[in-house]
Structure 1
Protein backbone atom coordinates (compact mmCIF):
# COMPACT_ATOMS: atom_id res chain seq x y z
CA UNK A 1 0.00 0.00 0.00
CA UNK A 2 1.44 3.36 -1.04
CA UNK A 3 0.91 6.43 1.12
CA UNK A 4 1.39 9.85 -0.44
CA UNK A 5 0.16 11.87 2.56
CA UNK A 6 3.01 12.65 4.98
CA UNK A 7 0.42 12.40 7.72
CA UNK A 8 0.06 16.10 8.38
CA UNK A 9 -2.95 16.45 6.07
CA UNK A 10 -4.74 13.69 7.96
CA UNK A 11 -3.61 15.17 11.29
CA UNK A 12 -5.13 18.49 10.20
CA UNK A 13 -8.43 16.76 9.46
CA UNK A 14 -8.36 14.95 12.82
CA UNK A 15 -7.56 18.24 14.59
CA UNK A 16 -10.44 19.99 12.84
CA UNK A 17 -12.85 17.17 13.69
CA UNK A 18 -11.80 17.20 17.36
CA UNK A 19 -12.04 21.01 17.49
CA UNK A 20 -15.51 21.04 15.93
CA UNK A 21 -16.71 18.48 18.48
CA UNK A 22 -15.04 19.99 21.54
CA UNK A 23 -17.04 21.46 24.38
CA UNK A 24 -13.96 23.19 25.84
CA UNK A 25 -12.38 26.57 25.14
CA UNK A 26 -9.19 26.47 23.02
CA UNK A 27 -6.78 26.84 25.95
CA UNK A 28 -8.33 23.79 27.63
CA UNK A 29 -8.23 21.84 24.37
CA UNK A 30 -4.46 22.28 24.30
CA UNK A 31 -4.06 21.05 27.87
CA UNK A 32 -6.33 18.07 27.35
CA UNK A 33 -4.55 17.06 24.14
CA UNK A 34 -1.19 17.16 25.88
CA UNK A 35 -2.57 15.16 28.83
CA UNK A 36 -3.95 12.60 26.36
CA UNK A 37 -0.32 11.75 25.58
CA UNK A 38 0.15 10.40 29.11
CA UNK A 39 -2.83 8.14 28.66
CA UNK A 40 -1.49 6.82 25.36
CA UNK A 41 2.02 6.25 26.76
CA UNK A 42 0.43 4.28 29.61
CA UNK A 43 -1.27 2.08 27.03
CA UNK A 44 2.14 1.39 25.43
CA UNK A 45 3.49 0.34 28.83
CA UNK A 46 0.49 -1.88 29.42
CA UNK A 47 0.96 -3.52 26.01
CA UNK A 48 4.69 -4.15 26.63
CA UNK A 49 3.95 -5.69 30.03
CA UNK A 50 1.26 -7.82 28.40
CA UNK A 51 3.51 -8.86 25.52
CA UNK A 52 6.22 -9.93 27.98
CA UNK A 53 3.70 -11.77 30.16
CA UNK A 54 5.14 -9.92 33.16
CA UNK A 55 1.98 -10.28 35.27
CA UNK A 56 1.87 -13.95 36.35
CA UNK A 57 -1.83 -13.72 37.12
CA UNK A 58 -2.70 -12.53 33.62
CA UNK A 59 0.04 -14.11 31.51
CA UNK A 60 0.61 -12.92 27.95
CA UNK A 61 -2.23 -10.55 27.10
CA UNK A 62 -0.79 -8.53 24.21
CA UNK A 63 1.31 -9.04 21.09
CA UNK A 64 4.19 -6.95 19.80
CA UNK A 65 1.79 -5.81 17.07
CA UNK A 66 -0.34 -4.37 19.87
CA UNK A 67 2.75 -2.47 21.08
CA UNK A 68 3.29 -1.15 17.54
CA UNK A 69 -0.31 0.05 17.34
CA UNK A 70 -0.06 1.76 20.73
CA UNK A 71 3.17 3.49 19.69
CA UNK A 72 1.40 4.73 16.56
CA UNK A 73 -1.38 6.10 18.78
CA UNK A 74 1.26 8.01 20.78
CA UNK A 75 2.70 9.51 17.59
CA UNK A 76 -0.74 10.48 16.26
CA UNK A 77 -1.74 12.00 19.60
CA UNK A 78 1.50 14.00 19.77
CA UNK A 79 1.01 15.24 16.21
CA UNK A 80 -2.55 16.35 16.97
CA UNK A 81 -1.37 18.07 20.16
CA UNK A 82 1.34 19.89 18.20
CA UNK A 83 -1.20 20.90 15.55
CA UNK A 84 -3.43 22.20 18.35
CA UNK A 85 -0.58 24.43 19.52
CA UNK A 86 0.28 25.75 16.06
CA UNK A 87 -1.15 25.64 12.55
CA UNK A 88 2.49 25.34 11.38
CA UNK A 89 2.93 21.97 13.10
CA UNK A 90 4.57 20.27 10.11
CA UNK A 91 7.15 23.03 9.82
CA UNK A 92 7.76 23.11 13.58
CA UNK A 93 8.31 19.35 13.63
CA UNK A 94 10.58 19.31 10.56
CA UNK A 95 12.68 22.14 11.96
CA UNK A 96 13.01 20.45 15.33
CA UNK A 97 13.86 17.10 13.72
CA UNK A 98 16.60 18.80 11.71
CA UNK A 99 18.06 20.31 14.91
CA UNK A 100 18.00 16.97 16.72
CA UNK A 101 19.58 15.18 13.76
CA UNK A 102 22.30 17.83 13.42
CA UNK A 103 23.07 17.57 17.12
CA UNK A 104 22.95 13.78 17.29
CA UNK A 105 24.24 12.58 13.92
CA UNK A 106 27.42 14.60 13.71
CA UNK A 107 30.10 13.25 11.44
Structure 2
Protein backbone atom coordinates (compact mmCIF):
# COMPACT_ATOMS: atom_id res chain seq x y z
CA UNK A 1 0.00 0.00 0.00
CA UNK A 2 1.34 3.43 -0.93
CA UNK A 3 1.62 5.95 1.87
CA UNK A 4 0.91 9.55 1.00
CA UNK A 5 2.38 11.43 3.95
CA UNK A 6 6.09 12.22 4.09
CA UNK A 7 7.15 12.30 7.74
CA UNK A 8 9.95 14.76 6.99
CA UNK A 9 7.34 17.29 5.88
CA UNK A 10 5.20 17.04 9.00
CA UNK A 11 6.53 18.87 12.09
CA UNK A 12 4.43 16.77 14.49
CA UNK A 13 5.81 13.50 13.16
CA UNK A 14 9.29 15.03 13.22
CA UNK A 15 8.82 15.70 16.95
CA UNK A 16 7.49 12.17 17.44
CA UNK A 17 10.60 10.84 15.73
CA UNK A 18 12.79 12.91 18.02
CA UNK A 19 10.90 11.68 21.10
CA UNK A 20 11.31 8.11 19.85
CA UNK A 21 15.06 8.62 19.37
CA UNK A 22 15.38 10.20 22.82
CA UNK A 23 13.56 7.29 24.47
CA UNK A 24 15.75 4.80 22.59
CA UNK A 25 18.90 6.63 23.70
CA UNK A 26 17.76 6.67 27.34
CA UNK A 27 16.78 2.99 27.44
CA UNK A 28 19.09 0.19 28.48
CA UNK A 29 16.44 -2.48 27.85
CA UNK A 30 16.52 -4.97 24.98
CA UNK A 31 14.55 -3.63 21.97
CA UNK A 32 11.74 -6.21 22.27
CA UNK A 33 11.16 -5.36 25.91
CA UNK A 34 11.26 -1.61 25.18
CA UNK A 35 8.65 -2.09 22.44
CA UNK A 36 6.32 -4.00 24.75
CA UNK A 37 6.67 -1.41 27.50
CA UNK A 38 5.83 1.41 25.08
CA UNK A 39 2.63 -0.43 24.16
CA UNK A 40 1.79 -0.90 27.85
CA UNK A 41 2.45 2.79 28.51
CA UNK A 42 -0.77 3.45 26.59
CA UNK A 43 -2.80 1.71 29.29
CA UNK A 44 -1.19 3.88 31.93
CA UNK A 45 -2.02 7.05 30.00
CA UNK A 46 -5.63 5.97 29.39
CA UNK A 47 -5.94 5.33 33.12
CA UNK A 48 -4.83 8.90 33.73
CA UNK A 49 -7.61 10.12 31.41
CA UNK A 50 -10.12 8.13 33.45
CA UNK A 51 -8.74 9.54 36.68
CA UNK A 52 -8.97 13.09 35.31
CA UNK A 53 -12.58 12.58 34.12
CA UNK A 54 -13.56 11.19 37.53
CA UNK A 55 -11.82 14.13 39.16
CA UNK A 56 -13.40 16.69 36.81
CA UNK A 57 -16.88 15.34 37.48
CA UNK A 58 -16.37 14.85 41.21
CA UNK A 59 -17.44 11.21 41.04
CA UNK A 60 -15.27 10.17 43.98
CA UNK A 61 -17.17 11.49 47.03
CA UNK A 62 -14.10 11.12 49.22
CA UNK A 63 -11.95 13.33 46.97
CA UNK A 64 -14.50 15.63 45.31
CA UNK A 65 -13.41 17.64 42.28
CA UNK A 66 -9.68 17.14 41.84
CA UNK A 67 -9.23 17.88 38.13
CA UNK A 68 -10.47 20.28 35.48
CA UNK A 69 -11.58 19.58 31.92
CA UNK A 70 -8.27 21.15 30.85
CA UNK A 71 -6.59 18.34 32.78
CA UNK A 72 -8.66 15.86 30.77
CA UNK A 73 -7.56 17.56 27.54
CA UNK A 74 -3.93 17.33 28.61
CA UNK A 75 -4.25 13.65 29.50
CA UNK A 76 -5.91 12.92 26.15
CA UNK A 77 -2.99 14.62 24.42
CA UNK A 78 -0.62 12.39 26.39
CA UNK A 79 -2.52 9.34 25.11
CA UNK A 80 -2.19 10.56 21.53
CA UNK A 81 1.53 11.31 21.87
CA UNK A 82 2.17 7.97 23.55
CA UNK A 83 0.30 6.15 20.78
CA UNK A 84 2.23 8.03 18.11
CA UNK A 85 5.56 7.14 19.73
CA UNK A 86 4.42 3.52 20.11
CA UNK A 87 3.51 3.41 16.42
CA UNK A 88 6.88 4.94 15.52
CA UNK A 89 8.51 2.24 17.65
CA UNK A 90 6.87 -0.39 15.45
CA UNK A 91 7.62 1.24 12.10
CA UNK A 92 9.83 4.04 10.79
CA UNK A 93 6.91 4.90 8.45
CA UNK A 94 4.54 5.71 11.31
CA UNK A 95 3.29 8.87 9.60
CA UNK A 96 2.43 7.02 6.41
CA UNK A 97 0.82 4.11 8.23
CA UNK A 98 -1.29 6.50 10.29
CA UNK A 99 -2.30 8.59 7.29
CA UNK A 100 -3.36 5.50 5.35
CA UNK A 101 -5.33 4.18 8.31
CA UNK A 102 -7.14 7.49 8.94
CA UNK A 103 -8.09 7.65 5.27
CA UNK A 104 -9.41 4.06 5.38
CA UNK A 105 -11.45 4.73 8.54
CA UNK A 106 -12.83 7.98 7.13
CA UNK A 107 -13.80 6.32 3.85
CA UNK A 108 -15.48 3.45 5.70
CA UNK A 109 -17.24 5.70 8.21
CA UNK A 110 -18.04 8.75 6.13
CA UNK A 111 -18.46 7.03 2.77
CA UNK A 112 -19.16 9.38 -0.08
CA UNK A 113 -19.12 12.41 2.24
CA UNK A 114 -15.30 12.29 2.01
CA UNK A 115 -15.28 12.34 -1.80
Q: How much has 1:91 moved relative to structure 2? A: 0.3
Q: Distance in 2 between matches of 1:90 and 1:5?
A: 8
Please list the CA deviations of residues 39-83 of structure 1 after superposition, one character each: whole Å capped at 9, or x if unmatched: 000000000000000011110000000000000000000000000
Q: How much has 1:23 moved relative to structure 2? A: 1.1
| TM-score (norm. length: structure 2) | 0.88
Instruction: With a CA cutoff of 8 Å and minimum separation of 6, indicate the structure with the bigger relative contact order.
Output: 2
| TM-score (norm. length: structure 1) | 0.94
Match of 1:34 among 22, 30, 39: 39
Match of 1:62 among 54, 58, 67: 67
User: Any runs of at least 4 consecutive aligned residues in structure 1 with deviations exceeding 3 A, and if so which?
Assistant: none
Q: How much has 1:33 moved relative to structure 2? A: 0.2
Q: How much has 1:6 moved relative to structure 2? A: 4.0
Q: 1:9 to 1:78 in 2, by over 3 A?
A: same
After TM superposition, the structure 1 = structure 2 runs for residues 1-107 of structure 1, keeping only pairs within 5 Å, are 5-107=10-112
Which consecutive residues of structure 2, in runs of 5 or more, have no partner in the other structure? 1-8
Please list the CA deviations of residues 5-62 of structure 1 after superposition, one character each: whole Å capped at 9, or x if unmatched: 5410000000000000101111111100000000000000000000000011110000
RMSD: 1.2
Q: Which moved more, 1:80-89 or 1:23-32?
A: 23-32
Which consecutive residues of structure 1, in runs of 5 or more, have no partner in the other structure? none
